[in-house]
Amino acid sequence: MLVVVSWVSFWLDKVKQFLKGDAVPARVSLGVTTLLTMTTQASGINSKLPPVSYIKAVDVWIGVCLAFIFGALLEYAVVNYYGRKEFLRKEKKKKTRIDDCVCPSDRPPLRLDLSAYRGVRRLPIFKRISELLSANIDISRRVDLMSRLTFPLTFFSFLIFYYQAYVKQSRD
């Protein structure tokens, strides 16, 4: 449950963290709280078990869970680093932009491509994948979008592998 809770930070809005500062404390406290809670759980479980010289199944479970929670915290560090760089770059562009425009601003800009007029409708999942792979999306947003998909898929594949190995071992 703690691993899944640590993924909530992937859905907290990155834009708010730079404009209002709302998401920074939320993401940091969520990551640190889940990491400390998992560490406390691990030490409590290990203190109740007898010491042995081999790796137990619970050690593998706790180690992987800690790795996923720590990975979510590292993901936020990457998003924060690139997000700050992108935000500063956009702010710098705003300051250096020419404010006196020759064209009237009350008309919508003329589109030179026909992408908006194509009759082909995409499924939402394909639209999200193409959005993720597009070159004009910010790196920090791309990392958040990829994490929303890769963290759960990787963890659930670990669950399948872990329980298959656990059931096989218990049968033997």
Mean local confidence (pLDDT), 72-79? 88
* Residue 17 confidence (pLDDT) above 70: no
Q: What is the pLDDT of residue 15?
A: 47
* Residue 67 confidence (pLDDT) above 90: yes
- Residues 136 and 10 sit within 8 Å (Cβ to Cβ): no
pLDDT in tens, 154-172: 999 999 999 998 888 878 7
Structure token digits, residue 34: 């889940």
| Mean pLDDT comparison of 82-91, 105-114, 149-158, highest-scoring range | 149-158
* Residue 126 confidence (pLDDT) above 70: no
Tell me if 81 is assigned to some domain.
Answer: yes
Mean local confidence (pLDDT), 109-130? 60
Tell me if 68 is assigned to some domain.
Answer: yes
Mean local confidence (pLDDT), 112-135? 60
Q: How many distinct structural domains can be found in the chain? A: 1
Mean local confidence (pLDDT), 96-100? 56
CA atoms within a 13 Å half-sphere pointing along the CA-CB vector of 154: 15
Full 3-state SS string of 36-49: HHHHHHHHHHHHHC
Q: What CATH number is given to the structural domain containing 21?
A: 1.20.58.390
Q: What is the pLDDT of residue 96?
A: 66
> How are the residues of the chain apportioned to helix, strand and coil, as percentages rounded to the nearest 5?
75, 0, 25
Cβ neighbourhood burial of 155 (10 Å; 0-12, 13-18, 19+): middle
Q: Which domain holds residue 60?
A: 2-92+122-171
* Residue 94 confidence (pLDDT) above 90: no
Tell me if 113 is assigned to some domain.
Answer: no
